[in-house]
Structure 1
Amino acid sequence: MNLERFLSRSVQSVPPSGIRKFFDIVSEMRDALSLGVGEPDFVTPWSIRDMGIYSIEEGHTHYTSNYGLLELRKEISNYLKRRFDLNYPNYREQILVTVGASEAIDIALRSIINPGDEVLIPEPSFVSYKPCTIFAGGIPVEVPTKAENDFKLRAEDIIPKITPRTKALILSYPNNPTGAIMTKEDLKELVDVLKDKDIIVISDEIYAELTYEGEHVSIANFPEMKDKTILINGFSKAFAMTGWRLGFVAANEVFIKAMAKVHQYIIMSAPTFSQYAAIEALRNGAAEVEKMKEEYNRRRRYMVSRFNKMGLECFEPKGAFYVFPSIKSTGLSSEEFAEKLLYQQKVAVVPGTAFGSCGEGFIRCSYAYSIETIKEALDRIEKFVTNFKASTQSQEIQKNRVVVEQ
């Protein structure tokens, strides 16, 4: 009996994550090192953990409001104003607490997409945007970005992609996987294109705190885009709270009300103890975030320098905790490079193609690992590149020798 015929066509059409393949192999490989996981190596700061524990001890083990604890929503409103000059004063109706930023992305799309609506997705990008668009009944439209433009999204990139069916643009900066950021001037260029169009921007700003040059700017900072922007953020990356599964959305009341409707039927509410911990994170976690950011910055500079020295040209990321070096000089595809590196040197990286077809010729490496792990992994990568290039040159010399003898 073919049970697959019972499956949803949209689910069948989506391939498994291109990231998981390599992690599954690494989990069964002795002495393997991974630079693939997008998760902080830091433990959640103690005061935040302590508050989560205390909330359980105090018996806060019941559902909260579908929207999240009112106290937390107020703190989120204060935080957005304090850190990014973003105004969401009506926190009762403008902020929704979600199970991670991942749920926020899903319900944002489900709340606005009708079958056949198109969603512009700049690539390389986080792996879930395209599948979530498909699951919502939308049509993902790839918008390639380029290394020569520092992987920024340009107006000239999106203008040809806009059609009467375009419903939304997903904007993700600082970017996963490239580490690119968008400055106020960069965003202004997009605003000039979008301000008079009926296009909603879903702005995933989960890495906003991890901006290493200048200050993070949101497209929601532009008055003409504020009401058309669904801003997504969370606690996983900056506060090292991945396992707590907590994110949030800030948007116009119309969007929040619609998203809360989906949220209440599929989730009910985010974990209660995580919400209490998040209040502590927002009130007293800034110093710990800064310490982690400084360490990420040190690792960032080291990785960029090492990749460039070994001949793999590496764009300097200005945000998040990833580098996206080019492996084009090896002549290998992204998939080939990642597989050969894994089996020959036991180092896992993610092929650039996992983040879109324009990621071909690149690999993603995370620096959310200890500096000792990073150094050892880069030593192995350098050895792999050196050996591969030497082998390729030897084969070319032998090939030319045979031609001459003939």
Structure 2
Amino acid sequence: MPRPPPGMEADPVARPFWLTRLLVRTGVARFLPSARRLTDGHPHAVRYFSDKVLAAPADELLDPAYLPGPLPPDVLDLNLPAPRTDSPVGPGRPTPDRRGTPPPWGTPDLKNALADHYVRRDGRDVDPEHELFVTHGATAAYAAALDAFVNPGDRVVLFDPCSPLFDLGAKSRRARVRRVPTWNDDGRCRFLERDFERAVRGAKLLVLADPANPTGACFAPEDLEYLLWIAAGSDALVYADESFGRFRYDGRGKSLGALPGAEKRVLTAGSVTPGWGLGSVRVGWLAGPRPLVRACALTASLSAPYVPTVCQQAAAQAVAEADTDFAPTLARFRDRRRYVIDRLRGLGLEPEWPAGGYFVWLPVSSLGLDGRVFAERLLRERRVLVGPGCAFGPSGAGHVRLSFAADDGRLREGLSRLAAFVAELRNPGAPPPPAEPAEPTELAQPAFSRV
């Protein structure tokens, strides 16, 4: 995970945005390192940039720790954000009535399938015509919510650690981000009530993911009720990303959008990328109160309308799949979770137990390295990619994120290389550890096989 090259380091002192605009108008900005970085070495062009571009968190967006680029073929990717699938689900041949421009808010087939999905999973009635709209993935759903409700200076509350996109999206709208520290208590996401109440007071938007990324911790039903109660007391809106909701290993849990009072302020987002392994179609959605969904759909129509019909057809087929068809996949991932945790503990490490998703949050500071250096050296010396914890918030500095969404052979080999790397850190020059013992579980079938 290389650092930004020389000349792309951040300016040593953060500037208020009004000063940035003044520097641009006076022409002084073109002499600053940040202008060279933002314009890829052509600082004279900065005078054309909009406030949205000038406010973009360029340091993070250009840092491969946050947004990794293409990998060489010899690198084993243990940072996969979603499973890869050999699923036969596909768009099929579009019928004559589906060959034109799709409806801007989504095709009726997909929206009806999503409404049925909410009924099956949560017992929640969602009006597919007015309380749902389809987006270009969950990232576009979040962007639509930010554009609809967040103005510069508004407070957005995040749990720490969380997805880098939550923080980057809020910063790009010049929001004031407040973080609530959390910890993983055997799969349950915990936080201090006083920290949360202080952060939400005066906030415009509370953002969370359940299950959480990167920890895999889940909120208990009583914690969700408490979050909603406090948010209502502060008149804050709530954005709940449930993209990993299908991957709950220790019980179904409860959706925030199904709780009493959610009909006034809760937006729930999902995606077929993490939940169904269909990253290539890039289909997400947003569900919630009619006026809030309408506002989000209007902002999305200005920036990213019309999700392709063929992608929506594939998503509709996947979402309509019976829950019983997914049970074998969930069981295989449950076995993978145990397998990965056992191997890491066998190395003397202390991974946190994920109750959902397919990530393991792994502390590495006991090895004398922070998360970024650990990830950089593991990539350089053993050709294995993991996610540096610094991308997920301040509390992640001593962690890395490891994904067990990789295929079985790459997962085993990647863990073996990681074991050799850890052994070398502890005993430089010592012989590598013995080969991996026989797998404790059967991991032969591809994830999401629907054959």
Aligned counterpart, 2:194: 156
- Kindly indicate whether the alpha-carbon contact (under 8 Å) linking 2:248 and 2:356 is maintained by their aligned counterparts in 1: yes
Given candidates 104, 117, 132, the residue that maps to 1:79 is 117
CA distance in 2, matches of 1:23, 1:260: 29
CA distance in 1, matches of 2:322, 2:83: 15
Relative to 1, partners in 2 of residues 1:305 and 1:157: Cα closer, same or farther, differing over 3 Å? Answer: farther
- Is residue 27 from structure 1 mapped to residue 68 from structure 2 by the alignment? no
SS of match in other structure, 1:203: strand
- Kindly indicate whether the alpha-carbon contact (under 8 Å) linking 2:186 and 2:354 is maintained by their aligned counterparts in 1: no
- Kindly indicate whether the alpha-carbon contact (under 8 Å) linking 1:145 and 1:153 is maintained by their aligned counterparts in 2: yes
> Displacement, 1:341?
1.3
Given candidates 318, 331, 334, the residue that maps to 1:294 is 331
- Is residue 320 from structure 1 mapped to residue 357 from structure 2 by the alignment? yes
Relative to 1, partners in 2 of residues 1:156 and 1:392: Cα closer, same or farther, differing over 3 Å? Answer: farther
- Is residue 207 from structure 1 mapped to residue 244 from structure 2 by the alignment? yes
- Is residue 310 from structure 1 mapped to residue 310 from structure 2 by the alignment? no
- Kindly indicate whether the alpha-carbon contact (under 8 Å) linking 2:201 and 2:234 is maintained by their aligned counterparts in 1: no
Aligned counterpart, 1:11: 56
CA distance in 2, matches of 1:392, 1:122: 41
The letter for the 1-side match of 2:43 is N
SS of match in other structure, 2:261: helix
SS of match in other structure, 2:234: coil
Relative to 1, partners in 2 of residues 1:230 and 1:21: Cα closer, same or farther, differing over 3 Å? Answer: closer
CA distance in 1, matches of 2:160, 2:339: 26
- Is residue 65 from structure 1 mapped to residue 103 from structure 2 by the alignment? yes
1:15-73 deviations in whole A, cap 9, x for unaligned?
A: 2265557944x723x63211012121222x31x21xx0222x65733212211112321
Aligned counterpart, 1:116: 153
Aligned counterpart, 2:389: 352
Relative to 1, partners in 2 of residues 1:22 and 1:136: Cα closer, same or farther, differing over 3 Å? Answer: closer
CA distance in 1, matches of 2:231, 2:97: 48
1:221-251 deviations in whole A, cap 9, x for unaligned?
A: 2112332101101211121111101111111
Relative to 1, partners in 2 of residues 1:374 and 1:65: Cα closer, same or farther, differing over 3 Å? Answer: same
Relative to 1, partners in 2 of residues 1:160 and 1:230: Cα closer, same or farther, differing over 3 Å? Answer: same
SS of match in other structure, 1:273: helix
> Displacement, 1:136?
2.7
Given candidates 233, 236, 253, the residue that maps to 2:273 is 236
SS of match in other structure, 2:134: strand
Relative to 1, partners in 2 of residues 1:115 and 1:181: Cα closer, same or farther, differing over 3 Å? Answer: same
Aligned counterpart, 2:407: 370
In structure 2, runs of 5+ residues without a counterpart are 1-41, 431-451
> Displacement, 1:295?
1.8
Relative to 1, partners in 2 of residues 1:21 and 1:230: Cα closer, same or farther, differing over 3 Å? Answer: closer
Aligned counterpart, 2:441: none
User: If the length of structure 2 is used for normalisation, what is the TM-score?
Assistant: 0.80
Q: Which runs of 4+ in 1 moved over 6 A?
A: none
SS of match in other structure, 2:206: strand
Relative to 1, partners in 2 of residues 1:223 and 1:261: Cα closer, same or farther, differing over 3 Å? Answer: same
- Is residue 39 from structure 1 mapped to residue 76 from structure 2 by the alignment? no
CA distance in 2, matches of 1:335, 1:363: 8
The answer to which structure has the higher helix fraction is 1
Given candidates 104, 112, 119, the residue that maps to 2:141 is 104
SS of match in other structure, 1:297: helix
SS of match in other structure, 2:233: coil
In structure 1, runs of 5+ residues without a counterpart are 394-406
Aligned counterpart, 2:222: 185
- Kindly indicate whether the alpha-carbon contact (under 8 Å) linking 1:324 and 1:365 is maintained by their aligned counterparts in 2: yes
The letter for the 2-side match of 1:355 is F
> Displacement, 1:391?
3.1
- Kindly indicate whether the alpha-carbon contact (under 8 Å) linking 1:17 and 1:354 is maintained by their aligned counterparts in 2: no
User: If the length of structure 1 is used for normalisation, what is the TM-score?
Assistant: 0.88
1:136-185 deviations in whole A, cap 9, x for unaligned?
A: 33222222212458571533331222343x10110111111111111212
Aligned counterpart, 1:338: 375
CA distance in 2, matches of 1:313, 1:170: 28
Aligned counterpart, 2:43: 2
Aligned counterpart, 1:402: none
Relative to 1, partners in 2 of residues 1:392 and 1:224: Cα closer, same or farther, differing over 3 Å? Answer: farther
- Kindly indicate whether the alpha-carbon contact (under 8 Å) linking 1:22 and 1:348 is maintained by their aligned counterparts in 2: no
Aligned counterpart, 1:92: 129
The letter for the 1-side match of 2:44 is L
CA distance in 2, matches of 1:79, 1:361: 38
Identity of aligned residues (%): 24
Equivalenced residues, count: 384
Aligned counterpart, 1:396: none
Relative to 1, partners in 2 of residues 1:369 and 1:285: Cα closer, same or farther, differing over 3 Å? Answer: farther
